[in-house]
Amino acid sequence: MSNDSRIHVKSWLRLKHLVLLVTLDESRNLHSTARHMNMSQPAASKMLKDIETFFGMTLFRRQPRAMEVTDAGRLLVRYARSVLNDTDRLIDDLVSLREGGHGKLAIGAVPGAAPLVLPQAITAIKARRPQLAVSLVENSSDRLLVDLEYKRLDVAIGRFTDAAQRHLFDFVPLQAEPVSVVVRAGHPLCEGMPGLGEVIRWPWVLHPMRSPMRGLFEAALAEAGVPSPRNVVETTSTQTTLQMVGASDAIALLPTSVLRTAVSAGAFAALPLTIGEPLGYYGVLTRKREEVPALVGEFIDMLLARGD
For 217-230, how does the pLDDT look when each residue is reduced to its tens digit (9 = 90+)?
A: 898 899 889 999 99
Helices (H), the chain: 3-12, 15-27, 30-36, 41-55, 71-98, 117-128, 141-149, 196-199, 212-224, 238-246, 256-263, 294-307
Q: What is the pLDDT of residues 6-42, one digit of tens each?
A: 788 888 989 999 999 999 999 999 999 999 999 999 9
* Secondary structure (3-state) at 223: helix
Amino acid 115: pLDDT: 65
263 has a pLDDT exceeding 60: no
Amino acid 307: pLDDT: 56
Amino acid 2: pLDDT: 55
Q: Which domains does the chain have, with CATH numbers?
A: 3-81 (1.10.10.10), 102-176+281-307 (3.40.190.10), 179-277 (3.40.190.290)
User: Quick one: 246 exposed, middle or buried, by C-beta within 10 A (0-12, 13-18, 19+)?
Assistant: middle
113-122, 138-147, 178-187, 197-206: range with lowest mean pLDDT = 113-122
Amino acid 88: pLDDT: 85
Who has greater pLDDT, 33 or 255? 33
Angle at the Cα of 203 from the Cα atoms of 202 and 209, rounded to 5 degrees: 115
The model's confidence at residue 111, banded by pLDDT at 50, 70 and 90, is: confident
How far is CA 281 from its chain centroid? 17
* Dist. CA 262–CA 288, nearest whole Å: 36
22-36, 133-147, 267-281: range with lowest mean pLDDT = 267-281
* Dist. CA 128–CA 141, nearest whole Å: 28
For 46-97, the three-class secondary structure string (H helix, E strand, C coil) is HHHHHHHHHHCCCCEEECCCCEEECHHHHHHHHHHHHHHHHHHHHHHHHHHH
Q: What letter represents residue 169's amino acid?
A: F
Amino acid 145: pLDDT: 93
pTM for the model: 0.57
Listed residue (254, 257, 260, 273) closest to 189, CA to CA: 273
What average pLDDT does the segment 135-147 reach?
Answer: 90
